[in-house]
Every structure is written in structure tokens, then in C-alpha cells.
Amino acid sequence: MLLETDFNSNREEKVVLEIDREQQEKLPIDMSSFPFMFKKNVLDEKLGNTVPWHWHNVFELNYVLEGELLWKTHDSANIVRKGELLFVNNGVHHTCMTEGGNHCVYYTILFDMHLLSGMYNSVFEEKYFLPVMRNEDLIFWHVKPDSLLHLRIIENVLNVVETGREETFGYEFKVRELLGNFWLLFLQDTEKVRENAVPRSAADLERLTLMTRFIRDHCTEKLTLEDVASAADISTRECTRCFRRGLNSSPIVYLTQTRVRLAAQMLTETTKSVIEISEDCGFSSPSYFSKVFREIMACTPKDYRAQKAVG
């Protein structure tokens, strides 16, 4: 399933994600028929240089065509450059942004494991997929074109893109075959890591879901660290650790980013002044609002509104 009408077009479109209250991305995939899609993305200062924090119950592959991207999650950060590939595991909270604010173009492939494993609770699922999904060290897997095995992995992924783009009769069989080949090569590449598997924490994911939902629901109010921690019934110390482990960030930074995203939406959808929006979004002062908005969005609130009006 291709999510861009003219794949070869030079037209540049911002990355837009539909995310629910739990930060799960709502994907336009029919999980019961053909759980696969890919898209071509562009990030830069004009179109937006950051993809918001999100997760989904599918595997993700990202191949960089131009520029550099920084992917972040769970105490991990990877700079992925042109010609490199990044695997993102199922169910992982993650974000990405342009490195240094530069122009970046990349492919994203999303697929459910049952496209390859077939029926639920099969030997394929238990033997080849769940060990990867449960492995703390396979939240990200960075593939560089520095070995024959890695070159074969990248070649398979690009062939998936090409096959999915053409959508000729029977392409679904070919996509599944190519992804199957990719998965076997991926398992070969990660063999040593899987031998020393570290299970991922379900408790952290549940706590983060509660706390990030609380922040989004109450971001316009005056919030303290104690307020956020109480949403998951944990101490402020454990709250901070949980955010660091799960999002490689802090509750305060996450709150600020949430307020800035809300402010950006209000700048484009309302005629309220910058001062009014600053107050409505819970910022202590207009000057502080302008400062953090510029840090995150790479422009002032006034310039952001003007750019969107022109666009």
C-alpha cells in the first residue's frame, strides 16, 4: 500500500501522523487482509523537522535517501545517514528529527508479523518473531552498508519498496517473499544479540502510557512532577527514571514539547494572539513561550504562523 500518489514526484509534503490518546499511530492498514504499507517522507525546517513521539503494533523499517536523521527512544539514539537503514521494533515509543535541521528524505515500511508468520500462535511466531519483539537490545537495529550481509539486507528492503510501488498483479506475494528474505537476513545479523536477550519492561510501557496521557490531557494546567508521577502511582524519582528509560527524555521536557505542539496547532487554526496562545497552553510567560517554541520548531511563533499561512 503506497501512501503517496506520485512516488517519483519532486513535490515535498510534511510527515503527518494520526495519533490517539495513548500515542499509538493510527495506521491505514487492513490488518486482516494485507498488513503492509510504505511511504516517502520529507523532513526539514519548512515542512517540519520532527516526527512526534508515537508507537504502533507493527515493525518499521526506515531507509534514508537524503540527509541525516536522529531517531530516539528508550535510552537510545541513532544517527542514520544517507544509504543506511534503521529497524524499529514492534510497540516501541520513538521519534525522529533532522540532524542539524537539514533537509531529509526517507522511506518508511510498516508491516505486521502475521504477514510473514501466517496464523496466530504458529511456530513461526514463537520461533522467529516473539524473541525479537521481547528483546530489549533490539528496540533499534542500525544497518550500514559496511558488509556483504548488510548490503543484502538493504537491497531486500529497496526491492520491497520497488515492488510495492509498482503494484503489478501478484505483487503481494513478491512483497511477502522479499520481507521474508529480509527477516532471515535480519535474524542472521542479530544472532549474537538474541543469544543474550534482555526482556523489555511491560511495566514501563504501562506507566508511560498513563503519564503521557495525563500530560496531554492536562498540559494547559500548572503541572508539577508530583502530579505526573501520581498518574501512574509511582514516586517522582521513579517517574523521572521511567521517562529516561522509555523516551530518553524527562517529564518536564515532554510536557514542554506537548505544549509547543498544541501552540503550533492553535497558531494555524485560530486567530488568537501569541500572548493569548502562550497563556492558553500553560506557559509562564510569552517570552519563555517564544524561547522554547524557537528551540523546538526552529522559528518564532510569529514566523511559524506566517509560513503556514503562505503554505
* CATH number of the domain to which 240 belongs: 1.10.10.60
- Whole-number pLDDT of residue 11: 41
Tell me the CA distances in angstroms from 102 to 95, 98, 298, one per residue in order: 16, 6, 11
Whole-angstrom distance, CA of residue 91 vs CA of residue 87: 12
3-state secondary structure of 40: strand
Spatial contact of 201 and 245, defined as CB atoms under 8 Å apart: yes
102 domain residue, yes or no: yes
Closest CA to 143 of 196, 186, 192: 186
The answer to whether residue 13 sits within a structural domain is no
At 1 the pLDDT is 45
Residue spans of beta strands (DSSP E) within 82-203: 85-88, 94-98, 104-111, 140-143
Residue 7 lies in a domain: no
Stretches in the chain below the pLDDT threshold 70: 1-16, 20-23, 31-32, 45-48, 74-75, 100-101, 120-121, 197-201, 248, 310-311
> What are the backbone dihedrals phi and psi of residue 52, each rounded to the nearest 5 degrees, phi first?
-65, 160
Q: Which residue has the cell 519498496?
A: 161
**Residue 141, beta-bridge partner list:** 87
Q: Are 221 and 289 in the same domain?
A: yes
CA distance 126 to 123: 5
Tens of pLDDT, residues 221-268: 999 999 999 999 999 988 988 887 777 678 998 899 899 989 988 999
79 & 109 share domain: yes
Let me know whether 108 and 247 are in one domain: no
Same domain, 122 and 225: no
- Asked if the structure places residue 143 within a domain, the reply is yes
What is the pLDDT at residue 170?
A: 94
Give yes or no: residues 185 and 209 share one domain: no
> Which of 61, 56, 140, 53 lies closest to 97, judged by CA?
53
Report residue 255 as a C-alpha cell.
510536557
pLDDT of amino acid 21:
62
Let me know if residue 145 belongs to a domain: yes
Do 211 and 177 have their domain in common?
A: no
**Could you give the CA distance from residue 290 to residue 278 in angstroms, rounded to a whole number?**
8
**Which tens digit of pLDDT belongs to each residue from 64-104?**
999 999 998 756 789 999 999 999 998 888 889 887 668 89
Q: Is 2 within the bounds of a domain?
A: no
Amino acid making up residue 249: S
Asked if 42 and 131 sit in the same domain, the reply is: yes
Strand, coil or helix: 248: coil
Q: Where does a domain end: 196, 216, 241?
A: 196
Residue 160, domain CATH = 2.60.120.280
| One domain for residues 173 and 273 | no
Last residue of a domain, one of 165, 196, 227: 196
- H helix intervals, 191-273: 191-195, 202-218, 225-231, 236-247, 251-269
- Asked whether residue 95 is assigned to any structural domain, the reply reads yes
- DSSP string over 62-125: EEEEESEEEEEETTEEEEEETT-EEEE-TT--EEEEEGGG--EEEEEEEE-THHHH-STT-HHI
pLDDT of residue 22: 62
Q: Nearest-5° angle of CA 265, CA 248, CA 190?
A: 120
pLDDT attached to residue 205? 80
Burial zone of 89 (CB within 10 Å; 0-12 exposed, 13-18 middle, 19+ buried): buried
Number of domains forming the structure of the chain: 2
207 and 191, same domain (yes or no): no
**104 belongs to a structural domain:** yes
Q: Residue for cell digits 527514571?
A: 241
Domain termination residue (choose one: 129, 162, 196) = 196
Q: How far apart are CA 257 and CA 13, in angstroms?
A: 22
Do 186 and 99 fall within a single domain? Answer: yes
pLDDT of the residue at 2 = 42
Same domain as 256, residue 140: no
Boundaries of domain holding 282: 202-309
Please check whether residues 97 and 121 belong to one and the same domain. Answer: yes
Q: Which pLDDT value is given to residue 131?
A: 87
